[in-house]
Amino acid sequence: MSRYVQEMELRSHKPEPVGDASLEKWESLGQGGFGYVYKARHKDLCIDVAIKILRDGISHLLSLQDEAFYMDIAPCDFVVRVYGTYQGCPPGLRSTQQGLVMAFMERGSVESLQKKLSGPPPWPLVCRWAHQVAQGMNFLHSRNIVHHDLKPSNVLLDGDLNAKLADFGLSRVSTSVLNSNRETTDGIEGSYKYMPPEAFEVSYEANRSFDIYSYGILLWSIITGKEPYPSASFALVEIQIPKGVRPTFESIDQMSEEGLKELVELMKKCWDGTPSERPPFKNCLEVTENVFLKYKMAILDVVGQVLTKLSPTSYQSNTPWTRNVSQQPPEQSIDTVDTITERAPIRESVRITTKAKAKFVDDERPSLIQCVAEVMAITEELRDMVSHETYSKITVAGTNQDKVRVLYLTALHSGGEVVKAAFYDALKKHEPRLVERLGG
């Protein structure tokens, strides 16, 4: 089958339209250069979704069907999932609007997190983002898709702070607007600060090297936690970037983390002024993977630290990592359905649901990592749910804490509620006092 026929068949499958009848509990999340973003509840799917509504006056610049098409044919762990196109009238508006319905990324974007943290996140998370963005971009380029607007606000974060790419269809509007209406560029959320020098030519057509340059600037922003050229206008950037000006290294020179040197060298190669000298993302991955592997085992703890900082009262808001073994939940936050407590001991006739077991395993992750002693016995109990490769990794891990971390990062992370529930059952069998002490 020819490539043309394959693409035509793909295009014949259009994402499902989503209307107001399928949505409820609308909530405004903010606005950007292209429009407004809402959160809503999808009645049929029973999940929260994000809805991006285009501003009046720019919807004619692109086809929403094309945007949805590109996102639909790019199923990747590091690309935001699209559920369909939207046409309807959101609460508070009087006219019919068009937009996209996408997976809701509850932790916002890299940009919004940087603002909340007032700086860069812990170094292991920096390394993971660098690698995940490179993985997502390599995937898009392998599908002949150019993102064209890679920047911190377009790298979204899920509940565990995993990075996912968004807006690689809407991005085609960005350069069109930038090149045709220079006076309005300050409203395009600083996209011009991530554009390569050759892109400031009116006749320029984007290709893969555009994204690679943007990735270099993005790396700088992720590492420093800052915006490049914070006070520079479009006119100034347009003049200085082709001359070789790049973000300052003042804050980077004060850092000493392992792997920093490799990421900085990659950054400089990516933002090279000559497009042909920039490395493809496949080559970038060789660097980012080696750096990330140095910190992979520390990710769970680091994510917990960041989420705790974001949500100081995280137990009440169902965010884990703030409780330890000695802590007991406040009385007003006890869930008499999903938890076992001294106040409401569970009867033998009442069974804990799979969902409740999985929630316990998620919520008590830090305590379980620190306290589980019978790791291998529990792993054996899971049997086929743990692959041979994962079993080998658990076996060679140094301490019990390392073994549990590997189990969380592999089988428990990818297996969903079923595997977590099986882990809970095995935990209950081999570590009953620990489970009881944790309120399970």
**pLDDT tens per residue across span 383-426:** 778 887 788 888 878 788 888 888 888 888 777 888 888 898 88
CATH of the domain at 214: 1.10.510.10
CATH of the domain at 95: 3.30.200.20
Per-residue pLDDT, 111? 93
84 inside domain = yes
* pTM > 0.85: yes or no: no
33 inside domain = yes
Task: Quote the percentage of the chain above a pLDDT of 70.
Answer: 77
Task: Quote the percentage of the chain above a pLDDT of 90.
Answer: 30
Per-residue pLDDT, 58? 52
| Whether residue 261 is found in the same domain as residue 290 | yes
pLDDT band at 172 (very low <50, low <70, confident <90, very high): low
Per-residue pLDDT, 122? 93
| Whether residue 151 is found in the same domain as residue 280 | yes
| Whether residue 215 is found in the same domain as residue 138 | yes
| Whether residue 290 is found in the same domain as residue 188 | yes
- Domain span holding position 118: 110-298
**Residue finishing a domain among 282, 298, 314:** 298
pLDDT band at 328 (very low <50, low <70, confident <90, very high): very low
Question: Per-residue pLDDT averaged across 103-124, rounded?
Answer: 90
317 inside domain = no
CATH of the domain at 371: 1.10.533.10
| Whether residue 114 is found in the same domain as residue 212 | yes
Mean pLDDT of the chain: 78
| Whether residue 85 is found in the same domain as residue 133 | no
Question: Per-residue pLDDT averaged across 136-144, rounded?
Answer: 89
pLDDT band at 181 (very low <50, low <70, confident <90, very high): very low
Residues with catalytic function: 149
Position 182 pLDDT exceeds 90: no
Which of 229-243, 299-313, 416-430 is predicted least confidently? 299-313
| Whether residue 180 is found in the same domain as residue 284 | yes
Position 207 pLDDT exceeds 90: no
260 inside domain = yes
363 inside domain = yes
Position 233 pLDDT exceeds 60: yes
Position 334 pLDDT exceeds 70: no
**Residue finishing a domain among 298, 317, 352:** 298
Which of 146-155, 163-172, 246-255, 412-421 is predicted least confidently? 163-172
| Whether residue 91 is found in the same domain as residue 119 | no
- 119, HSE (Cβ side, Cα atoms, 13 Å): 5
358 inside domain = yes
| Whether residue 124 is found in the same domain as residue 72 | no
pLDDT band at 143 (very low <50, low <70, confident <90, very high): confident
Q: Give the range with max mean pLDDT: 133-147, 305-319, 346-360, 385-399.
A: 133-147
Give the tens place of pLDDT for each residue, 45-67.
889 999 888 766 554 444 555 55
Position 427 pLDDT exceeds 50: yes
Per-residue pLDDT, 433? 83
| Whether residue 281 is found in the same domain as residue 367 | no
pLDDT band at 18 (very low <50, low <70, confident <90, very high): confident
| Whether residue 284 is found in the same domain as residue 187 | yes
| Whether residue 70 is found in the same domain as residue 99 | yes
Position 142 pLDDT exceeds 60: yes
375 inside domain = yes
pLDDT band at 332 (very low <50, low <70, confident <90, very high): very low
pLDDT band at 229 (very low <50, low <70, confident <90, very high): very high
**Residue finishing a domain among 103, 122, 148:** 103
pLDDT band at 226 (very low <50, low <70, confident <90, very high): very high
321 inside domain = no
Domains contained in the chain, number? 3
Residue of 367, 273, 387 whose CA lies nearest to 326: 367
Which of 98-107, 234-243, 431-440 is predicted least confidently? 431-440
Per-residue pLDDT, 75? 62
Per-residue b or e along 193-231, where b marks 16 or more CB atoms closer than 10 Å to that residue's CB: bbbbbbbbeeeeebebbbbbbbbbbbbbbbbbbbbbbee
Q: What is the 3-state secondary structure (H, E, C) of the chain?
A: CCHHHHHHHHHHCCCCEECHHHEEEEEEEEECCCEEEEEEEECCCCEEEEEEEECCCCHHHCCHHHHHHHHHCCCCCCECCEEEEEEECCCCCCCCEEEEEEECCCCCEHHHHHHHHCCCCCHHHHHHHHHHHHHHHHHHHHCCCCCCCCCHHHEEECCCCCEEECCCCCHHHHHHHHHHCHHHHHHCCCHHHHCCHHHHCCCCCCCHHHHHHHHHHHHHHHHHCCCCCCCCCHHHHHHHHHHCCCCCCCCHHHCCCCCHHHHHHHHHHHCCCCHHHCCCHHHHHHHHHHHHHCCHHHHHHHHHHHHHHHCCCCCCCCCCCCCCCCCCCCHHHCCCCCCCCCCCCCCCCCCCCHHHHHHHHHHCHHHHHHHCCCHHHHHHHHHHHCCHHHHHHHHHCCCHHHHHHHHHHHHHHHHHHHHHHHHHHHHHHHCHHHHHHCCC
Per-residue pLDDT, 180? 45
Give the tens place of pLDDT for each residue, 242-293.
999 999 999 999 998 999 999 999 999 999 999 999 999 999 999 999 999 9
